[in-house]
């Protein structure tokens, strides 16, 4: 018998998550049956989406949702041989028995010198989110100007770099001077710390006096209001996230954007990367290619120890990470 540690959502989050909202439990796993595999988590992901999704996709007492890179310890399924690695959606747990339906093998020919944790980040869901937001939603063209907020996060860092690969001007906003310095290192044309600028409007105007063709939106709140005012006519906005609002106990109101959207004839589209699941294999190969060529750089914020997952999650929501936040179990 294998024992699995799991993190349970004891109580739905009310405002910012607290330690008492989580409980560490141990469960005995049965032996794998025909068609099943036993997995051990190697790297686990914490992502901002878990905060809003926990309310709509989970009930109290469930294991926290999430993805992980796992190693196959036992297998009665020929598609997943012992010793191979997979991406699984088993949530916050150290071990899982799976029938394989929710597993994706790690891309073949994964380079030896590249950490498998990147399959949760730059060459995984966040990277795909960046790519599809730019290509499928925004239709970003060479020579255009793109604005991205939460730019030093797992998605934002990839958004900016792909836009540079496509020959665009890129402006990024982040929440610390260290993050701004990292964005400059990645090749962003302009970057600013939204917490220290006197005026968001002025900072956005200064970074791109001519305005913005495209806006990759990850934050919401006052930034949304300021950014929409700086869009060019016929500008396009990809709404990927709203991290500024995830922990609100009562919904925020902001100036209604209708007249700005009408006068500027803006196109606004919300999206999730799962819409283009049929393109995942080829898109992951493209991301991997850019990483190998040195065109797509990455940084990870690694927390050691499965027991520290709630702390890592709360740290993420407070903006402690540069790049992708992962747990090494």
What pLDDT was estimated at residue 147? 99
| Tens-digit pLDDT profile for residues 192-203 | 999 999 999 999
What pLDDT was estimated at residue 1? 82
| Tens-digit pLDDT profile for residues 310-319 | 999 999 999 9
Q: Distance (Å, rounded) from C-alpha 254 to C-alpha 295?
A: 38
Q: What is the mean pLDDT of the chain?
A: 97
Find out whether 288 and 123 touch, Cβ atoms under 8 Å: yes
Find out whether 121 and 298 touch, Cβ atoms under 8 Å: yes
What pLDDT was estimated at residue 50? 98
- 3 state SS of 98: strand
Domains of the chain from N-terminus onward: 2-121+299-328 (3.90.180.10), 125-273 (3.40.50.720)
Residues in the chain predicted with pLDDT less than 70, given as ranges, are none
Contacting residues for 270 by C-beta, under 8 A, at least 6 apart: 239, 240
What pLDDT was estimated at residue 252? 83
What pLDDT was estimated at residue 228? 97
| Tens-digit pLDDT profile for residues 208-218 | 999 999 999 99
What pLDDT was estimated at residue 253? 83
Please list the residues that pair with 145 across neighbouring strands.
169
Using alpha carbons, list the distances in angstroms from residue 33 to 3, 30, 74, 227, 228: 17, 9, 10, 54, 54
Q: Count the alpha carbons within 13 Å of 114 in the hemisphere toward its beta carbon.
A: 21
| Tens-digit pLDDT profile for residues 145-204 | 999 999 999 999 999 999 999 999 999 999 999 999 999 999 999 999 999 999 999 999
What pLDDT was estimated at residue 233? 98
What pLDDT was estimated at residue 263? 98
Whole-prediction pTM: 0.97
What pLDDT was estimated at residue 192? 98
Using alpha carbons, list the distances in angstroms from residue 294 to 122, 127, 165, 185: 13, 15, 11, 13
What pLDDT was estimated at residue 73? 98
């Amino acid at each position: 018998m294998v024992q699995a540690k799991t993190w349970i959502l004891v109580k739905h989050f009310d405002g910012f998550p607290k330690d008492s909202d989580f409980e560490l439990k141990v469960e005995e796993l049965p032996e794998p049956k025909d068609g099943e595999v036993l997995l051990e988590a190697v790297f686990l992901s914490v992502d901002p989406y878990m905060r809003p999704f926990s309310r709509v996709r989970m009930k109290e007492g469930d294991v926290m949702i999430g993805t992980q890179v796992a190693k196959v310890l036992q297998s009665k399924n020929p598609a997943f041989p012992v010793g191979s690695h997979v991406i699984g959606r088993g949530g916050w747990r150290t071990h899982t028995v799976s029938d394989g339906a929710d597993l994706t093998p790690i891309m073949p020919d994964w380079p030896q010198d590249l950490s498998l944790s990147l399959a949760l980040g730059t060459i995984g869901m966040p990277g795909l989110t960046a790519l599809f937001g730019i290509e499928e939603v925004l239709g970003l063209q060479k020579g255009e100007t793109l604005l991205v907020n939460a730019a030093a996060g797992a998605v934002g860092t990839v958004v900016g770099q792909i836009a540079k690969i496509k020959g665009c001007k890129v402006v990024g906003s982040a929440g610390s001077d260290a993050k701004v310095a990292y964005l400059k290192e990645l090749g962003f044309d302009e970057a600013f710390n939204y917490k220290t600028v006197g005026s968001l409007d002025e900072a956005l105007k200064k970074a791109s006096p001519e305005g913005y063709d495209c806006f990759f939106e990850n934050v919401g709140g006052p930034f949304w209001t300021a950014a929409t005012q700086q869009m060019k006519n016929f500008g396009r906005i990809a709404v990927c996230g709203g991290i500024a609002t995830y922990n609100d106990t009562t919904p925020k109101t902001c100036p209604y954007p209708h007249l700005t959207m009408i006068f500027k004839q803006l196109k606004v589209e919300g999206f999730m990367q799962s819409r283009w699941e049929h393109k995942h294999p080829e898109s992951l190969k493209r991301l991997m290619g850019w990483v190998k060529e040195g065109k797509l750089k990455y940084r990870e914020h690694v927390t050691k120890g499965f027991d520290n997952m709630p702390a890592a999650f709360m740290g993420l929501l407070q903006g402690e990470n540069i790049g992708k936040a992962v747990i090494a179990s």
